[in-house]
Structure 1
Amino acid sequence: MELGTPDELRVRLNSLVLAGRKTVTTGLLDEYVEETEGLEFVGERMALLDNDGRAIATVEITGMEQTSFTEVTWEHAAAEDEGDASLDEWRDGHRRFWEREGMPVEDDTPVVCLAFRVVAAS
């Protein structure tokens, strides 16, 4: 599992995961299609990778839901623990992130909401 982009963002997000504060993430369904990856499933264990592709922890998927961008709940957004004060702020930040990555998001864009827990730190 690679969170964010390989820079300070990933360092910050991984730190939140390792501290037990970030327990969910959101990805675009199109990214799975583009990378020809299957969706994660409950019980799957994955390596959490740092900027150099090294495993820093093992996480276990505890929940997976496909929905549209505007149907992401505040409960999910808040569990990302990225400092957003509201669902609108979360949506604005994620829209900007994906826009910078060349993947503009519309209200009906399909997303994958993952919940996870750290089972081992490396």
Structure 2
Amino acid sequence: MWPRIDGRRVLALGTPGKIRTWLTDLTLSGAKTATAGLLPLDYETEGEEVEHVGEHLILVNDAGEKAATIEITSVELVPFAEVPWEFAEAEGEGYTSIEDWRETHRRYWSSQGYEVTDASPIVCLHYRLLPPRPLQPTLTPATCPANTHAPIRPRRTPTTTAPREPPPGAFP
């Protein structure tokens, strides 16, 4: 079973260490918007269901801490030999061809103890980063005990006029 944070399933990309850090950084930069999972290894042995469109997952960094929240935008289950180039490209890892993607993933899953065949079922996930949620105030006028604080007054700051043109010599 996958870990949970805030009641949501965790997405830990790749293996711990440099690979996970690199893949997480690619996602945070927006270069990586897809990831592949091997159905028998990554789901069935873990007792997990395949993600669904609209599901929110917690992306974790190498320390297992929340790095971001992502939303699943598409899910496809396809045989390994039929994973399309567009998906491989969306993984953002610099593959030069679909053959390069297949060889890299075949080696990775082999290192995890699973031999991939052309018919092996692959879960192809596309996702997007969700913006951080703003912090909610813990006290509101309705929940704050009466007469325990002075009224909060807006701070006045001096106004300045921004220059309407760039300073001389700013552009060549």
TM-score normalised over the length of structure 2: 0.69
2:17 matched residue in structure 1: 7
Distance 1:11 1:75 in 2: 24
- 1:64 equivalent among 69, 75, 81: 75
Does residue 118 of structure 2 align to residue 116 of structure 1?
Answer: no
Instruction: State the number of aligned residues.
Output: 122
- RCO (CA 8 Å, sep 6+): is it higher in 1 or 2? 1
Q: Deviations over 1:1-32 (max 9, x none)?
A: 11100110000000000000100000000120
1:92 to partner: Cα distance: 0.5
Larger helix percent? 1
Query: Matches of residues 42-121 of structure 1 in structure 2 within 5 Å?
Result: 42-120=53-131
Structure number with the higher strand fraction is 1
Which consecutive unaligned segments of at least 5 residues does structure 1 have? none
Greater Rg over alpha carbons, structure: 2
SS of corresponding position for 2:131: strand
Cα root mean square deviation, aligned:
1.1
Counterpart contact for 1:18–1:118, Cα < 8 Å:
yes
Q: Deviations over 1:57-84 (max 9, x none)?
A: 0000000000110110000001101111
Q: 1:121 to 1:105 in 2, by over 3 A?
A: farther
Deviating 4+ runs (over 3 angstroms): none
